[in-house]
Amino acid sequence: MADPPNDAEKLLAVAPEDFVEERKRLVRKLRDEGRDDEARAVAATKKPTPVVLAVNRAARDRPQAAKDAARAADKLGRAQLSGKADDYRTLLSEMEQASALLADVAVANLSRGKSASEAMRRRVRDHLRGALSSDETRQLLARGALAEEVETSGFDAFAGLPRPKPSPQRARASADAERKRRALAKLQKDIADARDALDEAERRARDATRERDRLAEKLKALEAKAENTA
């Protein structure tokens, strides 16, 4: 998977319904600046699937999680080949926690408050797992710049050593941590949605104020004309 042009990367995390208009806007901007080669590259950028766009947005919204997942995945294959089971399990846990957060945010972007289907959740998880399985796609994931869905193939660096059976105490602690992580992810998504809603409300208020001023001026002119006609 080739790196997209720098300006094209800006397109790879927009909402699916905004992709075409944002691409047109960016192409116009580049042409106005005399950057015709870059404009052509952006114009040729194809719209990724909603899953890809949602994961890219999640990686940009949670950059540390994307970097943590990529870093752990990068070290995971070496730990597996070295036979260091403890290192492998630690890195696998770090990668799974970070990628699970990205998956939750991506699913929230896709579902927009509705219940996401299990098929959609599986596509997001599979895409993340595929993106983490090679150095090239890990780098693109960390930047939120993937252009297509990635599937794992051949040697799977994340399925070599057996995972230990956790103790009951450790299982409970892990479940508690997972509940807290999901609650935090939901709260962060709610905050982001509230900010977006506030920005939209403020934009509408500004538009309404401009329209009110325009109508007031029009009314004033009509009243003045009526007085002069009388």
pLDDT in tens, 59-113: 999 999 999 999 988 888 777 666 677 788 888 888 999 999 999 999 988 877 6
Average pLDDT over residues 154-166: 44
Q: Which of 155, 145, 179, 181 is nearest to 1 (CA)?
A: 145
Alpha-carbon gap, residue 123 to 55, rounded angstroms: 11
Rounded to whole angstroms, the Cα distance separating 138 from 119 reads 23
Q: What is the mean pLDDT of residues 151-157?
A: 53
Q: What is the pLDDT of residues 31-44, one digit of tens each?
A: 999 988 888 888 88
pLDDT above 90 (res 134): no
What would you measure as the largest C-alpha separation in the chain, in angstroms?
98
- In tens, the pLDDT along 176-228 reads 777 887 888 788 778 877 877 887 888 888 888 989 999 999 988 888 888 88
In angstroms, rounded to a whole number, what is the distance separating the alpha carbons of residues 121 and 99? 13
CA angle 225, 229, 230 (to 5 degrees): 120
| Non-local CB neighbours of 212 within 8 Å, separated by 6+ positions | none
Q: Give residue 169's pLDDT.
A: 67
Sign of the alpha-carbon dihedral angle for 146, 152, 156, 162: positive
161 pLDDT exceeds 50?
no
99 half-sphere exposure, CB direction, 13 A CA radius: 26
- Residue 155's pLDDT band, with cuts at 50, 70 and 90, is very low
Provide mean pLDDT across the span 122-139.
89
